[in-house]
Structure 1
Amino acid sequence: MDLTLAPRSVLSVTVHLAQGQASNALTSHPGSRTTSYLAHGDQTEAAELAGATPVDHWYLLSAVEVRAGWSTAALAVLGDSLTDGRGSTANRNNRWPDRLLDRLQPRLPGLALANQAAGGNRVLNDGPGPAALARLDRDVLPAYDVGDPLHLNPAGYKALAEAVPAGLLRRTGGRDGLSAVLRGPDG
């Protein structure tokens, strides 16, 4: 499907299961902090869903792949329920990674953010879902062609340092001493 969307657009996807749902196995995100609408019948062409029931979960969709230009860079954030949006407001896109992007994009306009957080996520061992290390190998590194955690030139580091809330950025050594590590609000 070829769509042209402005950065940070809200995308609505309508799906019709002509044969119904064949099993209880369902891709879902119960902590999405975003409303989905369930409705009977094929309403894929409808501008508004008649008789829809709102639910604050995502169903059936685990990702949307976007082809971006060469000047676009992605910052992938892997975290737990705080990163996923616990404490944020439904339908407002005000999770802390959203707010971070609000601060970064004016200085780094080609930056996109991929929030790969999962509520209940644990780092080493599986919890309600796969451990973060397994998800890093599965969901982040191959999907975003990540080479370094966050490696910046001096101007990029300065812009990031000005945009990130105090205490969330730590400068580390690196090839030229300018690698940075972003920490979540809980440290």
Structure 2
Amino acid sequence: MPRRAGLIASLLVAALALVTLLPPDPAAAAPKKSHWVASWVGSVQGPYPVGNPSAQPDQRYAFPSEAAGARDQTLRMVVRPDIWGREARLRFSNAFGTKPLTLDGVHAGLQLGGPALVKGSNRPVTFGRKASVTIPPGESVWSDPVRLAFVKRPDDRLLAGRKLAVSFHVVGESGPMTWHAKALQTSYVSPPGSGARGHEEGEAAFPYGTSSWFFLDAVEMRAPAGAFAVVAFGDSITDGTASTMNGDDRWPDVLSRRLKAVHGNRVAVVNAGIGGNQIAGPAEYGPHKPFPGGPSARSRIDRDVLALSGVRALIWLEGTNDFSRNGNASLETVRSAMDEVLARLRRERPDIKLIGATVVSALGSSSPAHGFVEQDEKRRDLNDHIRRPGVFDAVVDFDAATLDPTSGGLKEEFVPDSTTGGKGDRLHPNRSGYHAMGHAIDLGLFGPAKGRRAAAK
């Protein structure tokens, strides 16, 4: 028996040694499939200068003619990707242009500071392997994937919060420029007639600043399986009016940082807010009939949600502008439009978790279009609808987080404007208010990508 036991032990040791020498199972060793995930969005809203920018520098030197638009010059748009990957792709829009837009000399690099880039980070961007692209009026186009050589490890914590500079040359005259007015982020422009300068990593070519984004409206990153995006969809209170210029402290930014602390580089929060936006109106919208608040939520859901990759949740905060003197909509009209959009999302993308956000108070606002009692009554009735079981998959109560029950308006500490340091308009929360809103969101809503089907079980 001792001899047999020793023989068995020897055989087991030999078998174990053989297993360790065998090559690994290819299926077990193969990395999980990666996919594209929306990492930054700047929802386009109309032709410049129609819109609601914040802290905008004088643009007459960068763009002397609104009709001509950009002319033989380079724009360097600065954006903050919410997750990083080794590969990115960029979407350029001519949605509200009236003539074909030709871009060349497109580059993407890591911002050092101002318009200057980290040395060696700038990379050329192509379209169908060509260095230029022409975008017809009303259309948009995605670039080819561009390798971001400076991204060694996408989960490197030192990349979090860093900014990507996307540079592109407008060939000839662009005509009316498709833009996002309220970037609350400084970008840079070379003088008209200065040509293609996007390959340059220094700042000498870019003397002019802008607090808006032009033509570029989305960035996606190649991310591991399981990574996903949350779309913050709405009006100026999502866009960030009265938050800090270049401070990244809108409520979606606060939510992003909280999610990063838990999930790291696996969840992106992208901001699809537009200042002045409405759910139901305006009834008509186009380059020849623009409106400062952009096209309705109902009409832009394709471009700003459905066309983006990797979206697994949407937080929708909107309704104030519909009930303002600019919108003058009935509760029934707004409620019906909201339900129509939700029904479409459930039909076409049942994997997206739909989260409703209650609308914050504007009662007593100094804005001539807001702050009256009838608007507040409609707002509270819409909030009752949002809270009703089955309308959304979950609800975030921003109203409760910001309301002063004594006055019926915003809490006093949320009123002073953080962008300009002014007294505030009692319509837009300041940095403190957005901080409270971002912390009012239950992070349990954003576990692994379960979507609406799992939530409905």
What range describes the TM-score normalised by the shorter chain of this pair? 0.7 to 0.9
Q: TM-score, normalised by structure 2?
A: 0.33
Q: Within 2, Cα distance between the matches of 1:81 and 1:114?
A: 14
Quick one: which of 15, 33, 36 aligns to 2:187? 36
Report whether the alignment pairs 1:135 with 2:300. Answer: yes
Quick one: which of 373, 379, 394 aligns to 1:180? 394
**Cα deviations by residue, 1:104-154 (Å, 9 ceiling, x for unpaired):** 221232211111111111011225311112222332134245423259xxx
Report whether the alignment pairs 1:148 with 2:352. Answer: yes
Alignment partner, residue 100 of structure 2? none
| Cα pair 2:239 2:250 within 8 Å, conserved | yes
More strand by share: 2
Alignment partner, residue 200 of structure 2? 46
**Cα deviations by residue, 1:24-49 (Å, 9 ceiling, x for unpaired):** 2x121121111111113322122223
Quick one: which of 40, 65, 74 aligns to 2:229? 74
- Percent identity between the aligned chains? 34
Alignment partner, residue 124 of structure 1? 280
| Cα pair 1:122 1:131 within 8 Å, conserved | yes
Alignment partner, residue 251 of structure 2? 96
Structure 2 CA distance for partners of 1:138 and 1:54, relative to 1, 3 Å: closer
Q: Within 2, Cα distance between the matches of 1:21 and 1:116?
A: 28
* Structure 1 runs not aligned, ≥5 long: 152-169
Task: Report the structure number with the largest CA radius of gyration.
Answer: 2
| Cα pair 2:278 2:296 within 8 Å, conserved | yes
State the secondary structure of the residue aligned to 1:134: helix
Structure 2 CA distance for partners of 1:78 and 1:34, relative to 1, 3 Å: same
Q: Within 1, Cα distance between the matches of 2:164 and 2:276?
A: 26
Q: Within 1, Cα distance between the matches of 2:271 and 2:397?
A: 14
Q: Within 2, Cα distance between the matches of 1:117 and 1:86?
A: 10
Which letter does structure 2 place at the counterpart of 1:84?
A: D
Which letter does structure 1 place at the counterpart of 2:180?
A: H
Which letter does structure 2 place at the counterpart of 1:31?
A: K
Where relative contact order (Cα < 8 A, 6+ residues apart) is larger, the structure is 2
Aligned length: 163
Alignment partner, residue 147 of structure 2? 2
Q: CA deviation at 1:103?
A: 1.5
| Cα pair 1:123 1:132 within 8 Å, conserved | yes
* Structure 2 runs not aligned, ≥5 long: 1-145, 283-290, 313-350, 356-385, 404-457
